[in-house]
Amino acid sequence: MTTTELGGRVRRGTRAGTIATNVVIAAGTLYALLPLLWLLLAATKNAEALFSSNLLDVANFDLAGNIEALLDEDDGLFLRWYANSILYAVIGAAVGALVSTAAGYVFDKYSFRGKKQLYALVLISVMIPGTVLALPMYLIASRLELANTMWAVFLTVLFNPFGVYLARIFATGYVPGEVLEAARVDGASELHIFFRIGLRMLGPGFVTVFLFQLTSIWNNFFLPLVMLSDEKLYPLSLGLYSWNSQATITPEYYPIVIVGSLLALIPLVVAFLMLQRYWRSGLTAGSVK
């Protein structure tokens, strides 16, 4: 075989690999974007046009009417669910990220009895699905008379084993032990060192854990379903599910459920756009090493 023939086969193989890679990427992109495109188009149609017209037909554009109907339904209950979701997700993610960051920092920077065993429990907890723990959590909340209150949802989302795992990795890469020792020599307390030095160095890690926690709580469904029976306490996921259940009997609910699902995406998109700079730097931390 000559060098020219071998080089031609290599080029053809490289070209075929490039084409196959592009096809797979294009298929994956379509798979991810088509449901979102359907949601955007369907949210602009009223109930009659949603089932009788072509989805790409813009003649029945009525997004404003659908939003108005959504906000008027059940005396503005959607806004109450929206506020509940923001309360559960934003405050829960902020407090949960702080707890996870502090726990990961402690696991990485301190030595204490039972550390390996406790961290092993954290790693085991990462692999336990949240749905398995929902019923035990409900029984505990019921015993403490917290069931069907906002505390039943808020308190149970504060502890995230995966966040502790991530925070420990960030603490290893971002917080040099020499800096902490220098602060101790200067007489700083351990709390002062964590909040004034460690937490600032762990900023990208805190934001990364916050975003994961925010997305998880915002999409949380089964835990609120078990904990809550008062619809005024529902988050968006559970509220839209209850309306969708009624849509099988009353199809007029379909447009408001669709436009409600579209509006439910806004906080996650805003959070991602605002914090992606920190998130990217956090995900690439230590990649060079």
For residues 57 and 55, give the distance between their C-alpha atoms in angstroms, rounded to a whole number: 5
pTM above 0.85, yes or no: no
Give pLDDT, residue 285.
Answer: 54
Give the pLDDT band (50/70/90) at residue 287: very low
Give the pLDDT band (50/70/90) at residue 1: low
Give the pLDDT band (50/70/90) at residue 281: low
CA-CA-CA-CA dihedral for 196, 200, 205, 210, to nearest 10: 80
For residues 199 and 197, give the distance between their C-alpha atoms in angstroms, rounded to a whole number: 6
The pLDDT mean for the chain works out to: 85
Residue type, 172: T
Task: List the domains of the chain with CATH numbers.
Answer: 70-280 (1.10.3720.10)
For residues 21 and 26, give the distance between their C-alpha atoms in angstroms, rounded to a whole number: 9
Give the pLDDT confidence of 150-183 residue by residue, as tens digits: 898 888 888 889 999 999 999 988 888 888 888 8
- Residue 7: is its pLDDT beyond 70? no
Half-sphere exposure of 181 (CA within 13 A, CB side): 3
Q: Name the nearest CA neighbour of 214 among 98, 83, 89.
A: 89
Residue type, 262: L
Give pLDDT, residue 156.
Answer: 85
Give the pLDDT confidence of 107-148 residue by residue, as tens digits: 999 998 989 999 999 989 888 887 788 888 899 988 988 889
For residues 171 and 164, give the distance between their C-alpha atoms in angstroms, rounded to a whole number: 10
